[in-house]
Amino acid sequence: MKFILPGSSLRNIAVLFLFLLSSCLQKNNPVHDKLKKQLQITDSLIIAGKGDSAMLLLTKLRKQIPGSDPLICTYYHLQADHYFYKPAVMDLYADSCLDFFNNSKNIEKYPDEYFQSLLIKGDACFRTKNYSKALDYYYKGQKVLSSGICDNGELASKIGIIYFTQKNYFVAAKYWAESYNKLGLCNKNITAQKLFFIKQGTLNNTGFSYEMAGKLDSATAYYLKDLDLITKTDSNKLIGKHYINTASVVVYDNLGGVNLKQGNLSIAKSYLTKSVTLVGEDPDGAIIPPLLKLAELYIKLGDNLKAKESFDKSRQVFDHLPADNEEEYVIKWNKLYAQYLYKINQPGAAYHYQDVYIKLKDALDTRSANLYSLNVEQELHNLQQKQALTSLEQENKVKKIYLASSAIFVIFSLVLIFIINKNLRKSKESQAEINQQNQHLQRTLGELEHANKNYIRIMRVMAHDLRNPISGITGLVSLMLAEDEFSEENKGILKLIETTGLNSMKMINELLNSGLADENEKLVTQRIDLNSLLYDSVELLQFRAQEKQQTIIFNHINTPIIAEVNHEKIWRAINNLIVNAIKFSHISGIIRVGIQSENKRILISVADNGIGIPADQKDSVFEMFTPAKKNGTDGEQPFGLGLSISKKIVEMHNGNIWFESNAGNGTIFYIELPALD
């Protein structure tokens, strides 16, 4: 089976359209027309397989193309196309083309070229494995299409490639079929020769996607349609025999593969033999797929000698291929060769090649893990929501008068937070004094406790109600900061309001997860692998540590460590310790996280080499709103709640938390929890 990647004829679609579109926008310009013809010659040389000659001509043309001419995009697209197998270089040329549209007037003047440039940039991101960003550029291209640009099926083919690479073959086939139905609808000036290459590749890709999806009848239908297109084109003498043979090799190979899967061995052998005969001794690897299928076919027929000949011949070819092009062949070859060795009763050698196949396959799957986890539909939906939110924010400009009222509200909110904080402290101090009263004051004490609970309920409601307006104020101030109409002094005031609002939100969230939490909340536990939970926590916080050039090292063990805990609460307790280690460690510091289990107890440790805890503050570290709180090494804002929350959570799980520290030499926090047998 063979899939025509966008590195072949399909990648030339965008370049081809740019020639046609640019010619419409630069009429009666002889210099432009001359350059356009030279670029068309370059494109023809690429299609003819003369890439070196094409690049020499392209290099000469670069100095002749003005930076204001949209043909500069055609130049960059051809360069990006040439460096398809060098993604980093391809990405640079794609960026250069998008630079042409930094001037918004060029987007309005050349929307078609802008659309093609977005797709090329998306392809470059895809090649550099930045899949979410690739979808972002494809989505931007979709937005350009919705503004009236003719859809020639290109966007559908891009999405189809992503789904195919994710092994979501059925959906990929649907997108390729959509792409084929739209081909040739937009540009009447496209030559029959180029339209053949585009249609032939799209039909093949559609059939191959259906084949990989297990829809063999649909795959056969598209392959036969492709073969019919090749036959008619050959009879009309529109394409040179070399290109007809090249296209036929792929279709015969794929038809042979489908019939091999269906058990039509004689038909499969006929198609595969035709494919091999047309290729001859082609050094570029086109002969490898039909040879491997023939080897599989001969194994099924019991003709081991011919199977061995096919294996040897295919091995000789891909041994001379560049490393970038041979991986899929090597994987398939090792798998089939292991089956062959089992067939001829050489289990030892078969096991070796099977092991090689598994390792190569696992390595390939690991490298593709990020793409497999990408939810294309969800990503596109998120991008759509983001675009809608941006549009909404742009349409709702805030008036200046709202700034004054917002500032007053923020101040009022801060006063309320201060009062709540102050009263919480007073409540704790009063509780100790009340406990010393005599029996005569017991009734009064009960009433005060009842009033205090009601007060906390009120404060909980207030804290909840304050979150939305403060969040709204912060968002509005952010929008104002994006405006150019304010002086630097006013922007400074706005920035101060924004920072104060964000800090207030953080404090409210800490309050809602600590002193204002629901006391009657039932602790729901489940069996959790703490080794895995720690790993996930460390991975998520690596990015935060990298902001201070810090490194988090997780000293884990290879066996699960199971405990009966509440996942969310234990996660929060551990995260608080790691976040504190990041906050109070110096730039480029090292944080070590470890776990061990013995004697039915689990010990978790978080160690840093930061500023440490002074001896006179050790007794108050776990207090809520502790006076021991201090700013982080990078000025991070403290609230004095994190360790108090962690201690409460650990004790709810019948565990212990403590630390060892010397000022200036770092700190080690420990959490001890009961383990399950």
- Alpha-carbon 133 to chain mean position: 7
Average pLDDT over residues 461-490: 72
**Interatomic CA distance for residues 144 and 111, integer angstroms:** 7
Determine what percent of the chain is predicted with pLDDT higher than 70.
74
Average pLDDT over the chain, rounded to an integer: 78
Reply yes or no on whether the pLDDT at 525 is more than 70.
Answer: yes
Reply yes or no on whether the pLDDT at 505 is more than 80.
Answer: no
CB atoms within 10 A of CB 654: 10
Average pLDDT over residues 375-379: 57
- Residue-level pLDDT at 464: 54
Banded model confidence at residue 189, pLDDT cuts 50, 70, 90: low
- Alpha-carbon 309 to chain mean position: 44
**Interatomic CA distance for residues 384 and 390, integer angstroms:** 10
Encoding tokens for residue 564? 């009966």
Average pLDDT over residues 402-430: 77
Dihedral sign for Cα atoms in the order 152, 154, 159, 164: positive
pLDDT digits (tens, 9 = 90+) for 586-605: 999 999 999 998 888 999 99
> Which of 246-255, 399-408, 576-585, 640-649 shows the lowest per-residue confidence on average (mean pLDDT)?
399-408
CB atoms within 10 A of CB 534: 23
Reply yes or no on whether the pLDDT at 217 is more than 50.
Answer: yes
Q: What is the CATH number of domain 526-674?
A: 3.30.565.10
Q: What's the CA angle centered on 169, arms 163 and 172, to 5 degrees?
A: 50
Banded model confidence at residue 66, pLDDT cuts 50, 70, 90: confident
> Which of 79-93, 128-142, 374-388, 542-556 shows the lowest per-residue confidence on average (mean pLDDT)?
374-388
**DSSP code of residue 284:** T
pLDDT digits (tens, 9 = 90+) for 279-328: 765 556 778 888 888 988 998 898 889 988 888 888 887 777 665 556 77
Q: Which CATH number fits domain 7-149: 3.40.50, 1.10.3470, 1.25.40, 1.20.120?
A: 1.25.40
Domain boundaries defined on the chain: 7-149, 397-512, 526-674
- Residue-level pLDDT at 191: 64
- Residue-level pLDDT at 115: 82
Encoding tokens for residue 618? 């050790």
- Residue-level pLDDT at 374: 53
Encoding tokens for residue 462? 């207030």
- Residue-level pLDDT at 365: 67
Reply yes or no on whether the pLDDT at 608 is more than 90.
Answer: yes
Question: Which alpha helices (DSSP H) does 483-611 contain, by range?
Answer: 488-512, 530-546, 567-583
Contact 368, 162 (CB under 8 A): no
- Residue-level pLDDT at 93: 87
- Residue-level pLDDT at 657: 94
Average pLDDT over residues 647-670: 90
**Interatomic CA distance for residues 129 and 124, integer angstroms:** 9
Dihedral sign for Cα atoms in the order 584, 573, 513, 477: positive
